[in-house]
Structure 1
């Protein structure tokens, strides 16, 4: 029972932190504010997380998992690989617009090695998801591809690369505003259109 209570308390802390981070921004949120929201002591928060960065990282893990689950559900129900690839961009758009104040890229710069390892694992997972969609496209005759994984890796890396080549986005380690983010998404859609034409059967 005690372990269950600990898990429940940790979940409540993460929910409160996510609410604060999403509304005010992660950097502007203090541990005191999260403790006040939960009506507990700040010491209680430190029992579960060593510092705010650790809590921030746990929040990102939680929302990241729901993000990947949504993409994986798209794979499971996909009838058209082309539509599924475009739907992944919409899932990404909705996710970033919802959680844009979580300061993911700032976290990458300021944090220790752990978050970078998580990002490497996330990139691999995204490549695998794209590879599964491409395999569906090959199976149903949409695509002609020899190596689905390599093709998916190229696509994902190219999509990620667009984020760092947006005009006037001087610092690639900062989060983007809505205008720049939408510009990247439009470029990603154009890239995907060109890419799909290249692998069509």
Structure 2
């Protein structure tokens, strides 16, 4: 049977890549977004804000992908409020929750005492976003009532990067490829996300991906 998935905040660029990848593989995809028109490849579309979603809206799906994104100081708190709302309505259900996470919280040492966002060359303009995404991960670690997976991209997350179809699956630590790079395109990230939905077993774990 084909997987039935929902993607919330479907209008975002990562969300659209995930939707396209899932549809390409024959998934039955329902997109939830704030705009009136469906701007995605999803077969079904519901105009609804994340905070207006109910348990009934998400019942019956195999997985829900949370593609919420924000940049400004006014909208960054939305990371936590939207994630907690999704956790509330998915609590105790068999529906998986996969979160488009950040790279700033990836550990840069084996002892797991320092993270990428603390590196001297980490751009100041990305620190508030990294902090907001890290807070979500911290909160998710407390949720044993939800089947969540937090998917961190590589440090260089490229919106218009090519779809190579190859990636390295990592865990809690910043992973570099054979060229000493931490880079992934949105398209390859989407492949990893859909792979995790399709056959992954990383329940209540953070995983990470980098271009092979």
TM-score surpassing 0.5?
Answer: no
TM-score (norm 1): 0.34
Larger relative helix fraction = 1
Work out which of the two has the higher radius of gyration on C-alpha atoms and give 1 or 2.
1
TM-score, L = length of structure 2 = 0.32
Higher strand share: 2
